[in-house]
Amino acid sequence: MGDATFPGSGWEGFIATRFVPISDSECLIYLVPDPQVPPRCPGCRESCSLIHDTTTRRVRDRDLFEYRVWLEVPVRRVRCPRCGVGREALSWLAPRARLTHRLRQHVEVLLTLLPLKQIAGLTGLHWHTLKAIDKARLARDLPEPDLAQVRYLVMDEFALFKGHRYASVVIDAETRQVLWVGEGRSREAIRPCFQWLGPHCEHIEAVAMDMNTAMDLEVQAWCPKARVVYDLFHVIAKLGREVIDRVRVDQANQLRHDKPARRAVKRSRWLLLRNAENLKADQADELRTLLDLNQP
């Protein structure tokens, strides 16, 4: 029976002998070797009955009902005639591991669904342990990118923790695979990505980004054939901040003699930035009046 909630299954070669609560939320299961299943050599994977020595290891398994499960496992070293002395091969526990395969697989599923903080609270595992599991999962499941096939990049920045600390990320726009992540958003911080790409920079045809000057300059320096494509959100945001605002303020200053008109221009920021199809009837009338005032 392979169900994770059945105390006595999933530990090939061992038998559960005792189930001992060690706190209100934790229990300890003692295992002993199954006399009918000989240990296997870690090298040739053949059965070997010659035991060199035995050490006890305490490992975590997947939770059982309301309990976090610990296992007390006597791990043997076998003396193989062909391979010599080595720690026995277990199908459910990796060499020197403190977590069973069953728990690791459960955590890997959670890592695709939840942030690390929530998984740490659910499982009781340390943040660094979860990060190591996630890194191993990504290395196993994600292929190495074929840089010769990369033609289009997406570059962006994101905040680290709170405050003004940032990191930059570079993604293959076609496969959506993350190619590179580095701390910082300056030219010096981004440059290692292009040094890593090396001669493959010649193949880059276009790079999408926000209006980050450092990214723009590095792309121009390393990817001579690439066209820089600014994302529409930042283009419109920059238009609102630096173009419409500047024109609106200048026009308001010219209307000092006409206070009602000046007030209408000064209060028009969001009216000018709103999509025309989203305007209500009275707002459309206000916009027409505003454009009449802005004839110059």
Task: Quote the pTM value.
Answer: 0.65
pLDDT digits (tens, 9 = 90+) for 158-211: 988 777 789 999 999 999 999 999 999 999 999 999 999 999 999 999 999 998
Query: φ and ψ at 229, to 5 degrees?
Result: -115, 115
Contacts by residues 75-79 (CB-CB < 8 Å, ≥ 24 positions apart):
76/33, 76/39, 76/51, 76/52, 77/51, 77/52, 77/53, 78/39, 78/40, 78/41, 78/48, 78/50, 78/51, 78/52, 79/48, 79/50, 79/51, 79/52
Classify each residue of 43-80 as buried b or exposed e, where b means 16 or more C-beta atoms within 10 Å of its C-beta: eeeeebeeeeeeeeeebbbbbeeebbbbbbbebbbbeb
Q: Where are the domains of the chain?
A: 1-93, 99-142, 147-230, 235-293
pLDDT tens per residue, range 17-29: 998 999 999 999 9
| pLDDT tens, position by position, 144-162 | 889 999 999 999 999 887 7
Asked: is 147-230 a CATH 3.90.45.10 domain? The reply is no
* Helix, strand, coil share (%) of the chain residues, nearest 5: 40, 25, 35
For every residue of 123-153, DSSP letters joined together read: H---HHHHHHHHHHHHHHHSPPP-GGG--EE
Rounded to whole angstroms, the Cα distance separating 225 from 148 reads 15
Cβ contacts of 105-113, under 8 Å, gap ≥ 24: 106/4, 106/62, 107/133, 108/133, 108/134, 108/137, 111/137
